[in-house]
Amino acid sequence: MTTKELNRKDFASDVEVKWCRGCGDFNVLKTMQSVLAKSGRTRENTVFISGIGCSSRFPYYLDTYGFHTIHGRAPAIATGVKATNPDLDVWVVTGDGDALSIGGNHFIHAIRRNQDIKILLFNNAVYGLTKGQFSPTSEQGFVSKSSPEGSPDQAIRPLALAAAAGATFLARTSDNDPAHMTMVLEAAAAHSGTAVVEILQNCVIFNDKVHAPYNSPANRSEHLLYLIDGEPLLFGQEHSEALTNKGFSFTIVDSETLGLMTHSTQSEESHYAYALANLSYPEFPVPVGVFRAVNRPTFDQVIRQQQQRATQKHGEGSLAELLKHNSYQRVC
């Protein structure tokens, strides 16, 4: 019996894609389909789970299993799916509003548990589905329908929050760079544990070109810092500048400076990844690539070990016997 080699179209459903013309989500969808096909994963063992928002229509457009759940709760559903069937490849698709506002606690707790799920966070710094309100990642002063005088809030840095929660895999990429996105998604797919990938995504209707000052083709070389494990933190035209540590943060120096620090994804402590995740334009280049990738027991592995120990100690047990147990109280 031969196994058919799958291609991108095998992971595309027949559902009409209902995103605005020019939306960055199209590139992410196409790249994700290609990554799944290349990985050798099967459609029947792959699950995409989303909350509410434009990006959360993702499961409809993939010929895999999926859930379109309620606002902010996708990580909780994904945790249950993976714990129940650890053989599944479980992905969460969410947006900056869905994950970081109403879903903030679920986002944090999924990460700290290190459940073996992959979280794709589409960040366009606006609520698009509800027609243009400021979101948790909108910069202070952002003018929108819900902030006509400018947003009064400080923006959340998604990867800094994830680093503080102890994420074992952190990465960032852009919707307009499919080659780089492919590399990042493949690395996330290979990771055992919670992988958080921030995707800088463009909303052409309500926040067009929000990331363009640093991630447009014309500005990338000057304002993006491509993270390469074991290499110096170089950026700028012809890599003329570099980052080096200054206390618990960074400073910009000439790339010819001796003793430049090198990027390491393997740091056991999350301080370095946290500091990288807090770098922002225009003061610093915006880091993209894999920030952190470390190994730690996953939530489902810990649960399985607990179950095995309990079974060895107490036997298989019986639900009927449990229900008949005398240790109960009558509530009148």
Domain annotation covers residue 3: no
Tell me if residue 22 falls in helix, strand or coil: coil
Walk along the chain (332 residues) and give the pLDDT tens digit of each residue: 446 788 999 999 999 999 999 999 999 999 999 999 999 889 999 999 999 999 999 999 999 999 999 999 999 999 999 999 999 999 999 999 999 999 999 999 999 999 999 999 999 999 999 999 999 999 999 998 899 999 999 999 999 999 999 999 999 999 999 999 999 999 999 999 999 999 999 999 999 999 999 999 999 999 999 999 999 999 998 999 999 988 888 999 998 887 899 999 999 889 999 999 999 999 999 999 999 999 999 999 999 999 999 999 989 888 888 777 766 677 77
pLDDT of residue 2: 46
pLDDT of residue 289: 99
Contacting residues for 288 by C-beta, under 8 A, at least 6 apart: 172, 173, 174, 180, 200, 215, 224, 225, 226, 227
**Residue in this structure with the two tokens 């003793």, named with its chain if needed:** 259
Provide the CATH number for the domain around residue 115.
3.40.50.970
Domain annotation covers residue 36: yes
Q: How many domains does the chain have?
A: 1
CB count within 10 Å of CB 140 equals 12
Which residue from 76, 6, 72 is spatially nearest to 36, judged by alpha carbons?
A: 6
**Residue in this structure with the two tokens 């959340």, named with its chain if needed:** 156
Domain annotation covers residue 241: no
Query: Omega into 232 within 30° of 0, i.e. cis?
Result: no
Domain annotation covers residue 323: no
Euclidean distance between CA atoms 215 and 224, whole angstroms: 7
Euclidean distance between CA atoms 262 and 220, whole angstroms: 20
Domain annotation covers residue 326: no
Cα-Cα end-to-end distance for the chain: 63
Euclidean distance between CA atoms 89 and 116, whole angstroms: 8
Question: What residues pair up with 127 in beta bridges, in sequence order?
Answer: 133
Euclidean distance between CA atoms 273 and 289, whole angstroms: 12
What does the CA dihedral 186, 189, 193, 195 come to, rounded to 10 degrees?
Answer: 60
Which residue from 210, 202, 112, 104 is spatially nearest to 164, judged by alpha carbons?
A: 112
Instruction: Report residue 47 CA to chain centroid gap.
Output: 15
Domain annotation covers residue 164: yes
Euclidean distance between CA atoms 189 and 84, whole angstroms: 19
Question: Cβ(265)–Cβ(295) under 8 Å?
Answer: no
Domain annotation covers residue 63: yes
Euclidean distance between CA atoms 125 and 135, whole angstroms: 6
Tell me if residue 52 falls in helix, strand or coil: coil
DSSP state of 132: S
Euclidean distance between CA atoms 191 and 116, whole angstroms: 8
Q: Could you tell me the residue range of the domain that residue 136 belongs to?
A: 8-231+260-301
Which residue from 115, 95, 91 is spatially nearest to 104, judged by alpha carbons?
A: 95
Domain annotation covers residue 246: no
Contacting residues for 212 by C-beta, under 8 A, at least 6 apart: 202, 219
Q: Which token pair is 19?
A: 């995103």
Which residue from 82, 80, 125, 117 is spatially nearest to 100, judged by alpha carbons?
A: 125
